[in-house]
Amino acid sequence: MTNPAVLLALHDARAADLRAEADAHRLAGRAGRPVELRARLGWALVEMGLRLAVPPKRVLAG
């Protein structure tokens, strides 16, 4: 037979672990998605590539 105090202690420990895991999950969701960073970086690279692909404008001295 199991002592009720032991069962209660195990339950309390598991509940604390679950609360900590839920808090970590909540904080990770607020930090932002890596997909957003990938998209911004991708568009920045596209913009830089387009700038490099267009020949520079020549200024006529006059």
Q: Specify the pTM.
A: 0.46
Q: What pLDDT does 17 receive?
A: 94
Number of residues assigned to the chain: 62
Q: What pLDDT does 16 receive?
A: 94
Q: What pLDDT does 60 receive?
A: 72
Per-residue pLDDT of the chain (62 residues; tens, 9 = 90+): 689 999 999 999 999 999 999 999 888 776 666 677 888 899 999 999 998 898 877 777 65
Q: Assign residue 55 a region: left if phi > 0, alpha if psi is -120 to 50, beta otherwise?
A: beta
